[in-house]
Amino acid sequence: MMSDDADDLQWLEPLRQKTREIEAETKAIRALNQLYRDNDKAMKTLADMKPKTRVILEMAIEQGVRRGYRRAFKHVENPTEESICDHIEECVMGEIYEFFTFEENE
């Protein structure tokens, strides 16, 4: 008698499987909706943020000067003042270009 009941309910298995699939899809959709809300919140926060341009520029210049000075002495024991200045200028501009973009002047 027990096996007859199990046989009678076998037709329910595809429905149970489909229900599990729908529940998994529903859970995924809810997770995506939450991610969208979190992302939207983050984007609004980013839109309200303003960079401290002067601080960033000062940092880039300082890093460029240090890097240029070290580079000037890297392969030459006593570089000329002009060589030191050239290396510093090149490295300062390289650091600035890491943080800022400029429109090309024609």
Query: Where are the domains positioned within the chain?
Result: 2-48, 53-99
The pTM for the full model equals 0.55
Instruction: Give pLDDT tens digits for 1-44.
Output: 455 666 677 888 888 999 999 999 999 999 999 998 889 888 88
Q: Angle at CA 100, nearest 5°, toward 94 and 102?
A: 95
Coil, strand or helix: which one is 48? Answer: helix
| Mean pLDDT score, 69-74 | 94
Q: Rounded distance, CA 71 to CA 86, Å?
A: 10
Burial category of 72 from C-beta neighbours within 10 Å (exposed 0-12, middle 13-18, buried 19 and up):
buried
Which residue type occupies 63? Q
